[in-house]
Structure 1
Amino acid sequence: MLGGLSTEELATIFDEWNRGELESFLIEITADIFKVRDEMGNDGGYLVDKILDKTGMKGTGKWTVQQAAELSVAAPTIAASLDCRYLSGLKEERERASATLKEAGLKDDEVIARVRGTVDRKRLIDDVRQALYASKICSYAQGMNLLRAKSIEQGWNLNLGELARIWKGGCIIRAVFLDRIKKAYQRNPDLASLVVDPEFALEMVQRQAAWRRVVGLAISAGISTPGMCASLAYFDTYRRSRLPANLVQAQRDLFGAHTYERTDMPGSFHTEWMKLARKGQIGAGASLN
């Protein structure tokens, strides 16, 4: 959309990507899909452009996200994908929302046209390639962490590197990328996450600038990229040694007396937040007087 790429150009790009680091079953079939013309219509266009934008599902994604929640494993990229399927099913609602927001003054076409005018197509294509690769690392990291958690719970003692090798033999997620995952777990069977494997970590750092450009560009144009956004948020959250979760814990303790831990001493603590806050207000008032 922002690159103004034709269906033929997209087919060529995906073919090219399938000869590099993104080589996979899904990239390959996507290139093939872009090449197929509509034989039922009369305009000689491409079939993919005639398909209703309403995704079906068999329940695998729902089951995966449920398992992640039960095991307390963060899987935002997988959850974002599932949410997109749910939203795609609301075709009539989305059409009404589009019309309502346009009447309210939302000018999508103008915004996209303005952003498109700033885009270097060649750079955008390469940025998307890098962003897709980095997002895949996060997605596979979440899936592997889910499998590891379930293995620990059930005592399966799964060999994650061997699983990656088996998948490469033939399944919907088969990809040359899986060789890299296998080697990562061979280097460290107790690897906490693919994100911290030295080789993957280096690649993510090298690609993060392109990744951020793609996500930022999409957001500025109002184009939904939930998978890439969720992966980037996962990366940015996971890599932080300190998060604003301290405020959440304070809120939980205030409204539910759930207690909290401190950074400077061991133990669990509870505070009478409202009483101390009022005391602080009184003290501040007194000092002003």
Structure 2
Amino acid sequence: MRKLRFTKMHGAGNDFIVIDGTTHDLSQLDSSLWHRLAHRQLGVGADQILLVEKSSKPGVDFKYRIFNADGGEVEQCGNGSRCFVRFVHEQGLSTKNEIQVEVAHTVLTLKRLHDDQVEVDMGQPIFNPTDIPFDPSGLTNKQEMHETLYALPLSQNSGAHADWIAVVSMGNPHAVQIVEDLDSAPVLIDGPLIESHPAFQKRVNAGFMQIINRHEIKLRVYERGAGETLSCGTGACAAVVSGIRRGLLDSPVRVQTRGGELQIAWNGFGAQVAPSVMMTGPAQTVYHGEIDLDTL
């Protein structure tokens, strides 16, 4: 039997299976297994799977990889990064409160605070369409303060399109639109259409934001390969950055998700060089377990 030890965790309701790859060889495990493991009826169940690994970069403490519930590997996960900090502390892998972690395209700085809160330097937001990646060819656009908005067609036959979207990457791509009422927003209808729209070569996370006031929003996100999640850390960062660039929000911003609250700070309005986005939020351990992989 092939036994795999894991920890079930969540960050504001965004739930993860976290696995220690620093002492175990996980190279023989593939995306189909991650998909089965994440299945909520037939496996453990999770939005994403996080693999903790050793980093090859000098001065960097760890590396971690992220797999969505469909088994596909993605670049970044804000809520997962907070859970990562708590995991390495609880597993005795590090005693440092501030940790440098390598992800797909960058190095994150993670800092454990009091009351199970974790602060993450999420790095600079990316706006260049090519780097997101996003192809705006043929799309109607308009300028709103420092943000370019796009009318994204969702159906060629009906002519329907998403409300004006802002496109930004936090290491993974996001399309953010403002809605008047989040509870009635067509997240489960438009979300899959936006996620798989051909303008996004690597698919996209679809964010739906309701502005409460200049320092508070509500947010729902339909994530690539996972569907709607209770919270999305990078989605919260992308939404706040977009709102600030549109002149609608002021840093810091409290983000209410269905799974909990996040605090996002970004002082990049009108800046020549975009500063890092700072995210603070909870990280909780749910339970530790072991599963026989041959049963999946």
Normalising by structure 2, report the TM-score. Answer: 0.25
Bigger Rg, structure 1 or 2 = 1
Q: Relative contact order: is structure 1 or structure 2 higher (C-alpha 8 Å, sep ≥ 6)? A: 2
Higher relative strand content? 2
TM-score, normalised to structure 1, is 0.25
